[in-house]
Amino acid sequence: MNPDFATSFKLNFIFEKRQFYYIEIRDIDDGIGNKYDEMGGFNFELGELMGSLNQTITKQISHGGKQMGTLILRAEKVELQNNLISFQMSCKNVKGGGCFSSAKPFIK
């Protein structure tokens, strides 16, 4: 009765452009989706979702004038490039030269 869908969709959000989507909710009766009951659907604008508090919006689902439930849409930003790594490192009690010694410890 209260599914939490594991499938996510990656969409390109373009700030300057209005992007409309339609979501249709179906109750599938067979394993392949040929037989189903329509639960309802609605249109939304991606900018509405991205600009909302916690990037979450709630929509009422209705079909034929009958309330069928509530759908919660959540979005999160996905970075396309992960090429920057920041870390901190320290060493203690390292044996080997000092400032003017020829043996300099290093980390490889």
Question: What is residue 53's predicted lDDT score, i.e. its pLDDT?
Answer: 92
Q: What is the pLDDT of residues 58-67, one digit of tens each?
A: 888 888 888 8
Residue 87's pLDDT band, with cuts at 50, 70 and 90, is low
pTM summary value: 0.59
Q: What is the pLDDT of residues 16-52, one digit of tens each?
A: 899 998 888 887 887 777 888 888 888 889 999 888 9
Q: Measuring CA to CA, how many Å separate 89 from each of 27, 92, 98, 99?
A: 53, 10, 19, 19
Tell me the C-alpha distance between 58 and 104, whole Å.
61
